[in-house]
């Protein structure tokens, strides 16, 4: 209700998701830990939040009726030192650090998914950046790669034939690389995104979300279905890098800053419930119905398209039956959010467990230093 927020909230737009079957979706913490300067991706600067310390998630998506399995993103490869020079130039830049304990293929194989025997039919790369492409060479050549529009033309052949390519030839050798075609394939529109129904049963859609990188796509999985006697349809929106931090798409005109935030992102001062207005005071625009951050213009392939895709994602974030998960949301690692990680659970029960509600404003903990300082200065001036 509007009274819960500091500003009136606009109604969430209709997403017009067709009815369909459900998919079994498991989220994998790929064991990657990446440090990067905040200013590379977003602005303006907020005191105390100069570095991102983030994971890289992968999703195992299964069609229950057939047992077909695909992966959405692969995180970062364990032997990241073997990336092509174009990638090493980024990783070795100021403020960057990368650590990876295991590859996604190892995690799967150790937990009953027989990667070596071809259990994964395809790997969807949300885009070509190193923290999403992983190490496909650890999968049999029967496992295809699915990439968004234009990626194949932009970066193949890979390194070393093309010295400037961020992709390794060895990762793709003997492997089918399928390019998604949102222009000529049977597509539909879900929210503001063009969509392809991967399994042709409404359980998993690939969404055309250009801007951040050539061929950038998102995913939308239905995890409960009213057609299957579930109470309602609920979804996981796999946002990939449509945003790198919650502050790039929250708050929004549909989800303004709430008057009170629980769990408290500023637990040192407010152990249980935190007043939302203290974060409004540090909002660069001074308005709690717009995101804290803007996308930097030198990172996206197309800033205009990237901003549009991020804005379209906000519409899904406003839907009560959709849980938006961006690829590098470190707040989800907090036990209080209640995520059931692979291999122990699935994302089927996210809504009844309240995972989305507990995760939504958790990113504000990154601004606690700035909020505390602003509050102290305000009290001192009284």
Are the C-beta atoms of 359 and 265 separated by less than 8 Å? no
Give tens-digit pLDDT for 151-176: 999 999 999 999 999 999 999 999 99
pLDDT band at 193 (very low <50, low <70, confident <90, very high): very high
Architecture of domain 2-380: 4-Layer Sandwich (3.60)
Q: Which residues pair with 234 in a beta bridge?
A: 224
Block residue for tokens 């998701």? 17
Domain ranges of the chain: 2-380
Between CA 315 and CA 192 the distance in angstroms is 9
Give tens-digit pLDDT for 254-283: 999 999 999 999 988 899 999 999 999 999
The H or E element containing residue 238 is strand 234-240
Give tens-digit pLDDT for 70-93: 999 999 999 999 999 999 999 999
pTM as predicted: 0.96
Rounded percentage of the chain residues whose pLDDT exceeds 90:
90
The H or E element containing residue 189 is strand 188-190
pLDDT band at 375 (very low <50, low <70, confident <90, very high): confident
**Six token digits for residue 316:** 């899904």
Residues whose CB is less than 8 angstroms from the CB of residue 229 and which lie 6 or more positions away in sequence, other chains included: none
């Amino acid at each position: 209700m509007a009274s819960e927020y500091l500003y009136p909230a606009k109604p969430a737009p209709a997403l017009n998701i067709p009815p369909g079957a459900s998919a079994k979706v498991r989220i994998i913490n790929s064991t990657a830990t990446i440090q990067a300067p905040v200013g590379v991706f977003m602005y303006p600067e907020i005191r105390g939040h100069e570095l991102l310390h983030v994971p890289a998630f992968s999703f195992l998506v299964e069609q229950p009726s057939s047992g077909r399995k695909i992966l959405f993103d692969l995180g970062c490869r364990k032997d990241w030192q073997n990336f092509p020079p174009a990638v090493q130039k980024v990783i070795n830049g100021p403020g960057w650090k990368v650590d990876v304990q295991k590859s996604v293929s190892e995690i799967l194989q150790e937990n009953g998914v027989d990667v070596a025997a071809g259990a994964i039919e395809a790997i969807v790369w949300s885009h070509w950046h190193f923290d999403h492409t992983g190490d496909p060479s650890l999968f049999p050549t029967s496992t295809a790669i699915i990439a968004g529009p234009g990626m194949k033309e932009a970066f193949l052949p890979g390194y070393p034939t093309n010295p400037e390519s961020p992709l390794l030839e060895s990762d793709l050798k003997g492997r089918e690389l399928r390019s998604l075609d949102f222009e000529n394939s049977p597509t539909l529109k879900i929210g503001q995104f063009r969509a392809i129904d991967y399994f042709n049963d409404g359980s998993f859609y690939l969404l055309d979300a250009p801007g951040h990188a050539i061929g950038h796509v998102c995913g939308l999985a239905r995890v409960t279905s009213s057609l299957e006697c579930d109470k309602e349809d609920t979804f996981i929106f796999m946002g990939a890098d449509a945003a790198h931090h919650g502050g790039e798409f929250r708050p929004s005109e549909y989800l303004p800053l709430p008057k009170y935030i629980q769990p408290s992102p500023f637990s040192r001062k407010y152990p249980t419930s935190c007043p939302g207005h203290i974060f409004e005071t540090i909002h660069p625009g001074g308005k709690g119905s717009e995101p804290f951050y803007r996308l930097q213009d030198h990172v996206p392939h197309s800033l205009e398209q990237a901003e549009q895709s991020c804005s379209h994602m906000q519409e899904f974030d406003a839907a009560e039956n959709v849980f938006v998960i961006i690829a590098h949301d470190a707040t989800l690692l907090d036990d209080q959010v209640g995520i059931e990680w692979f291999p122990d659970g699935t994302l089927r029960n996210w809504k009844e467990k309240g995972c989305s509600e507990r995760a939504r404003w958790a990113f504000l903990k990154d601004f606690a230093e700035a909020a505390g300082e602003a509050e102290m200065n305000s009290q001192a001036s009284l």
